Chain A
Amino acid sequence: MQSLIIHSPILAIAIPLLAAFLTPLIGKFSSKARDIVVIVALAVTEFLVLILARDIYASGLHVYTLGALSPTLATPENFMIPVRIVLEVDAMSVFMGIISATVALAAAIYSISFMKRETGGTKFYTLLLLLTVGMIGLEFTGDLFNMFIFLEILSISGAALAGFRIRYADAIEGGFKYLVISAIGALVVLFAVGIFYGQYNLLNIAALAKVMQYTSLDQLALVLLIMAFGMKLASVPMHMWAPDTYSVAPAGTTPMIYVASQACLYALIRICFTLYGVTMNTSTIGWIIIVLGVLSMFIGVTVAVKQTDIKRLMAYHAISQSGYMLLGIGVGIAVLADPVALAAYGKTAISGGIFHIVNNALYKGLLFLTAEALFFSLGTRDLNKMGGMARNMKYTTIFFIIGALAISGIPPFNGFTSKLMIYESVYQFSPLLAVIAMLVSILTLASFTKAFQSAFTGPALPQYNNVKEVPKPMLIGMGILAVLIVFFSLFPNLVVNTIVNPATDSLINQAGYISSVMGGL
């Protein structure tokens, strides 16, 4: 058991990767066996991430060096710097790891019955597992170049998944747009990595953080990294790919691609807090991220109210919710150099932003799945053509209500808890920002009222008399997320104290992250 925990960082990446290339082989013989392999691989990944998380919350950060005599030895014997591939998993990484693994599992279960209608199912699962690899790798790596590689794995598999239903012209277009912005974003990241290597001859995040000078080249690299990851997480005004991609991605993968963009938010957070920390001009960078966040919140939600395509509507909400996270994180960065303000409200702001990531992954995932359930049953995404679906699809309606109330921040749902944390901490930083955040929450409710009214209520439309509830695996996939939402809603204190606060503390504790890799050097 102990050795399983030690090796779990790499196993959590290796097992889905192995399964990804095993599925085509098994799929040749039996599609049932293939489905089982996929589910088992993701369940094992989830289990590994969970036991790793338990150990990290108990005893602190894990370092895993590939190819070293002992996995915990980050720097080779005669070197002063870490030259090997190092995985570094702290409370923040594993927090994101749990989210990715859970959503991947729910999405895979949901996809099983969906894929019975599609051809090429085996390739679908390969891509789905590769996307999981990309996310977990991006979250667990301690090395900037590996961050680029996992970012590319995530982008390629995500783009192929988004454009998976090649019989639709718009699906290809959505996938292509995602691929183009990902390719350019990743190249910009690689250029920034090159800038670091040129200056410091280092690629390891902890080693770089130790010698970071914040020269003008570092400033350029920081801007490139913030903007590249900002584009991947769809912050306004670099968000326009998101509705195109999310609206065409097949069932189950939309939450996955969305969580993949949250993994890019993690990369952004990691770079700001750990790589630069207090060496950068925290108030400038903080305000840049706050402005991105406020723009995302406001423009995202106002455009969402206008949408009549249910998945585009939800995609714009995804953008708007990312704005909350950026706002919370940005306030935390702006006061990072000021210990008094950090203790007074900065930590709450960061915790609120981080807590919002997990809440949002859950309810946004659920809402995307309900939207796909509607598409599955009705064959249209157009809200103008829907009506009275609560009569035919009772469980989907209940799941939609849960998700809509949670995303609008109606107490006691989990969205309210994290939004409250953001409101009250941001209010102490700048009252105007908190007012905007509340306004956005109201508009969110308005737009989901619109979606609910036009899709689920109203008289039974004659053309949908024969529409039935979606198959059981799709309901189970939605049910997992719904149960988690209810759990997070009823016990917010437990969740915040067990998984969110350790993540915040480990983010702020830059010295601890550096010393765990560099040791006494």
Chain B
Amino acid sequence: MTESLFNIPFLAIAALIVISLYIIITQKNLIKLVMGIVILESAVNFFLVSLGYRSGGATPIYTNAPEKLMVLPVPQALTLTSIVIGVSVTALMLSMIILIYRHTGDIDAEKSRRLKG
């Protein structure tokens, strides 16, 4: 029973990934596209954090650790870095969408398109 409980986060991650892939493939509104990318990013971050869980492990805070054996906080470090990067990517994408909207008057991927072929 407990074994299958550990799989719940991974099921949630799979669901998030499927939702985000559906969004980025079908939604032509650029804002929605960015939402899809952010959901995908959250899914990946969630995945990294779930990997970091060790049952019975001690939190890696030096002053509070019960003994000197602690969980290696690599996934948490990875997630933080990935969140920071994600914020900057999202900000740049949204600012570009604003400019696309100003130039073309539309934020539909098909209607605002200038380059093709």
- Does B100 contact A187, Cβ atoms closer than 8 Å? no
Given contacts A170-B114, A173-B115, A194-B47, contact A156 B74 (CB under 8 A): no
Q: Is the interface of B mostly helix, strand, loop or mixed?
A: helix
Q: How far is the CA of A51 from the CA of B85 in the complex (A)?
A: 32
Knowing A184-B24, A197-B51, say if A170 contacts B96 (CB, 8 Å). no
Q: Given A172-B96, A180-B37: A191 and B47 within 8 A (CB)?
A: yes
Contact residues in B for A201 (Cβ distance below 8 Å): 72
The answer to whether B33 touches A180 (Cβ under 8 A) is: yes
Q: Tell me if B74 and A247 are in contact (CB < 8 A).
A: no
A295 at the interface (CB under 8 A from B): no
Chain A residues, CB < 8 A from B89: 152, 155-156, 179, 183
The CA of A494 and the CA of B103, in the complex, are separated in Å by: 52
| A131 at the binding interface (Cβ < 8 Å) | no
Q: Which of B30, B44, B115 contacts A243 (CB 8 A)?
A: B115
User: From residue 69 to 93 of chain B, which have CB atoms closer than 8 A to chain A?
Assistant: 72, 74-75, 78, 81-82, 85, 88-89, 92-93
Of A163, A169, A243, A248, the most chain B CB neighbours within 10 A belong to: A169
Q: How far is the CA of A287 from the CA of B40 in the complex (A)?
A: 30
Chain B, range 37-86, C-beta contacts under 8 Å to A: 37, 40-41, 44, 47-48, 51, 72, 74-75, 78, 81-82, 85
Q: Is the CB of B104 within 8 A of A169?
A: yes
Asked, given contacts A184-B40, A197-B74, whether A179 binds B113 with beta carbons under 8 Å apart, the answer is no
Contact B93 A176 (CB under 8 A): yes
- Picked from A170, A186, A203, the residue with its CB within 8 Å of the CB of B74 is A203
Is A38 engaged at the interface, CB distance under 8 Å to the other chain? no
For residue B35, CB closer than 8 A to chain A, the reply is no
Q: Known contacts A173-B114, A176-B100; is A160 also within 8 Å of B92 by CB?
A: yes
Q: Which residue of A lies closest to B36 (CB)?
A: A184
- Residue with the highest number of chain B CB atoms closer than 10 Å, among A166, A173, A248: A173
Interface size class of A (residues with CB under 8 A): 35 or more
Q: Is A145 an interface residue (CB 8 A)?
A: yes
Main secondary structure of the interface of A (DSSP, over half): helix
Q: Which residues of the partner chain B approach A180 to less than 8 Å between Cβ atoms?
A: 33, 37, 93
Q: For the complex, what is the distance from the CA of A306 to the CA of B97, rounded to whole Å?
A: 30
Q: Does B99 touch A at the CB level, under 8 Å?
A: yes
- CA–CA, A194 and B85, complex, Å: 16
Is A187 within 8 A of B44, CB to CB? yes
CA distance A145 to B44 in the complex (A): 13
A189 nearest CB across to chain B (Å): 10
Question: Does B103 contact A169, Cβ atoms closer than 8 Å?
Answer: yes
- B85–A149 touching, CB < 8 Å: yes
Provide the residues of chain B in CB contact with A145, threshold 8 Å.
78, 81
Please tell me if the beta carbons of A176 and B96 are within 8 angstroms of each other in the complex. Answer: yes
In the complex, how many angstroms separate the beta carbon of A204 from the nearest chain B beta carbon? 11
A332 within 8 A of B: no
Residues from chain A with a CB closer than 8 A to the CB of B75 are 194, 197
Task: Tell me if B29 is interfacial: C-beta within 8 Å of chain A.
Answer: no
Q: How far is the CB of B95 from chain A (nearest CB, A)?
A: 10
CB-defined contacts of B37 to chain A, threshold 8 Å:
180, 183-184, 187
Provide the residues of chain A in CB contact with B72, threshold 8 Å.
83, 201
Tell me whether B112 is interfacial, beta carbon within 8 Å.
yes
Q: Are A248 and B115 in contact (CB under 8 A)?
A: yes
Whether A156 lies near B44 (C-beta < 8 A) is no
- Are A173's CB and B113's CB within 8 A? yes
Q: Which A residue's beta carbon lies closest to that of B47?
A: A194
B contact residues around A186 at 8 Å (CB): 85
Whether A252 sits at the interface, judged by CB under 8 Å, is no
A152, A180, A203 pick with most chain B CB within 10 angstroms: A180
List chain A residues, Cβ under 8 A from B81: 145, 149
Interface of chain A residues 160 through 198 with chain B (CB within 8 A): 160, 163, 166, 169-170, 172-177, 179-180, 183-184, 186-187, 190-191, 193-194, 197-198
A244: interface (CB < 8 Å):
yes
Among B40, B85, B103, B104, which residue has its beta carbon within 8 angstroms of that of A152? B85
Query: Whole-angstrom distance between the alpha carbons of A510 and B88 in the complex?
Result: 36
Q: Chain B's nearest CB lies how many Å from the CB of A348?
A: 37
For the complex, what is the distance from the CA of A186 to the CA of B112, rounded to whole Å? Answer: 25
Chain B proximity of A521: nearest CB distance (Å): 17
- Do A166 and B99 contact each other (CB < 8 Å), given the known contacts A183-B89, A187-B41, A243-B115? yes
Q: Cβ of A259 < 8 Å from any Cβ of B?
A: no
With A183-B93, A190-B82, A248-B115 already in contact, the answer to whether A172 and B44 are too (CB < 8 A) is no
Q: Report B's interface with A, CB cutoff 8 A.
A: 24, 30, 33, 37, 40-41, 44, 47-48, 51, 72, 74-75, 78, 81-82, 85, 88-89, 92-93, 96-97, 99-100, 103-104, 112-115, 117
A-B contact pairs, 24 of them (CB 8 A): A156-B88, A156-B89, A163-B99, A169-B100, A169-B103, A173-B113, A173-B115, A176-B97, A179-B96, A180-B93, A183-B37, A186-B85, A187-B37, A187-B44, A190-B78, A191-B47, A194-B44, A194-B51, A194-B75, A197-B48, A197-B74, A197-B78, A201-B72, A244-B115
Beyond A156-B85, A179-B92: 7 further Cβ-contacts under 8 Å? A83-B74, A166-B99, A172-B103, A179-B89, A194-B44, A194-B51, A197-B51
List of 3 A-B pairs having minimum Cβ-Cβ separation, nearest first: A169-B103, A244-B115, A170-B114
